[in-house]
Amino acid sequence: MPNKTFFWFFLPTGLAMILFIGLPIISTGIQSFYAQHDQVVKEVKKCDPFGCTVSIVVDQEKTSKIREEKPLGKFNGFGTYVDRNHLAIEEIGKFWNETNTFGEFVDQVTNLPFYKALIFTLTYCLFVTPNVLLLGFIIALSLNAVTRRIRGPLIFGTILPMIVTPLVGSLVLFWMIDAEGIIGANLQMLMDDPYLSLKSSKTLTWITIIIYGIWHHSPFAFVVFYAALQTVPQEPVEAAIIDGASRWQRVRHIVLPHIYPVVTFVALISLMDNFRVFEPIIGFSAEGSAQSLSWLIYDNLVNEEVILFGSAAATSMMTIVGIAILLAPVLIRTWKEFRTAR
């Protein structure tokens, strides 16, 4: 496609992207550099049905003046980014000096909310993404080998996990693994341990969420792989059969190289999706044991009666940076291949 045609073709999408993705990101970025003005408080008498007390409130007269002058708040630079609830630079320095062993240091660092969430998010990504690719590929291969007559219903059944809304899917599983649910109760019987609870143990909660993630995301990989498998040319495959290549050899040397670009694509999308893991944490009520970066943002915005825009914005920006870092190797590789292909 000539560049000019491409430009006009892309223009509407590009504009929409700038409007709905670019500008909000810039606005979030700006917000992350600001904190609230210093609160002017005053002592007042408060009375309610249970009696009167002397208490403090925010002095609205004085505060509203400051707010009008600078509606964005107080410029804070990277203050929010480095505070204890985010990168915690100061605290980490202190831990480094105060702790004796490296293990102790790691314990202290992973006790900080941002790093706690980062570790869960990365663990989730690293376990879910490869398994989704593998499982999706295996299902696609198997379904491709099934006779055409039952393929339709089988495909429908396979993509069901993706059709089910993530929140509903996780809630269903949540009830099943309850100590009195079908999976939970049977596990207790199998393990002969009446105190076994998938929800109370941190490790088991992580495993549950990861398994749920694989279950939910595999159909996406499967659909894309299945479509790609339809484009594998039959001649080399037949030639390989005549040459006596085993099934595994055919997959390894013909099918995989052919669909390789698609694998990259699925890996990219899957990594991006998994880095933003959020719904299962809510669905499984797993806030206590598993927090992800997206959950931190949500927590700052809604879980407190005071909305922490600065904190939420800073975590959002760092999530974007995190995704960029994670995708960098794949992107660089694709770019290089693109260059050599030209």
List the Cα angle 89/95/99 in 5-degree steps: 160
User: Which residues touch 295 (CB under 8 Å, ≥6 apart)?
Assistant: 117, 278, 281, 282, 287
What is residue 54's three-state secondary structure? strand
Site for another protein in 142-161 (CB under 8 A): none
For residues 141 and 135, what is the distance between their CA atoms, to the nearest angstrom? 10
Among 28, 80, 158, 315, binds another protein (CB under 8 A): 80
Least Cβ distance, residue 279 to another protein (angstroms): 16
Burial degree of 48 (CB within 10 A; 0-12, 13-18, 19+): exposed
For residues 45 and 261, what is the distance between their CA atoms, to the nearest angstrom? 69
Among 23, 160, 191, 202, binds another protein (CB under 8 A): 202
Smaller CB separation from another protein, 41 or 321: 41
For residues 120 and 329, what is the distance between their CA atoms, to the nearest angstrom? 21
Least Cβ distance, residue 29 to another protein (angstroms): 16
Among 170, 218, 311, 319, binds another protein (CB under 8 A): 311
Site for another protein in 81-120 (CB under 8 A): 83-85, 91, 111, 113
Chain center to CA of 73: 30
Least Cβ distance, residue 340 to another protein (angstroms): 48
Smaller CB separation from another protein, 202 or 333: 202
Handedness of CA 108, 112, 114, 116 (dihedral sign): positive
Least Cβ distance, residue 86 to another protein (angstroms): 8
Handedness of CA 181, 184, 187, 188 (dihedral sign): negative
Binding mask 164-183 for another protein (x = CB under 8 A): --------------xx----
Element (H, E) at 308: none
Least Cβ distance, residue 277 to another protein (angstroms): 17
Residue 42 CB neighbour total at 10 angstroms: 11
Binding region for another protein (CB under 8 A) out of 123-131, 136-144, 199-207, 329-337 = 199-207
Binding region for another protein (CB under 8 A) out of 5-13, 80-88, 322-330, 334-342 = 80-88
User: Which residues touch 144 (CB under 8 Å, ≥6 apart)?
Assistant: 226, 229
Smaller CB separation from another protein, 289 or 294: 289
For residues 282 and 300, what is the distance between their CA atoms, to the nearest angstrom? 15
Across 98-111, b (16+ Cβ under 10 Å) vs e yields eeeeeeebeebbee
Q: Applying CB under 8 A, does 65 fall inside the site for another protein? A: no
Binding region for another protein (CB under 8 A) out of 21-29, 126-134, 307-315, 330-338 = 307-315
Handedness of CA 265, 266, 270, 271 (dihedral sign): negative
Binding region for another protein (CB under 8 A) out of 192-200, 249-257, 268-276, 328-336 = 192-200
Q: How many residues bind another protein (CB under 8 A)?
A: 57
Among 31, 33, 35, 208, binds another protein (CB under 8 A): 35
Binding mask 261-300 for another protein (x = CB under 8 A): -----------------------xxxxxx-x-------x-
- Which position has the token pair 């505060």? 63
Q: Applying CB under 8 A, does 43 fall inside the site for another protein? A: yes
Least Cβ distance, residue 260 to another protein (angstroms): 43
For residues 291 and 303, what is the distance between their CA atoms, to the nearest angstrom? 13
User: DSSP state, 43?
Assistant: E
Residues lying near another protein in the complex (CB under 8 A) are found at 35-39, 41-51, 55-58, 60, 63-64, 74, 76, 80, 83-85, 91, 111, 113, 178-179, 194-195, 197, 199-200, 202, 284-289, 291, 299, 302-308, 310-311
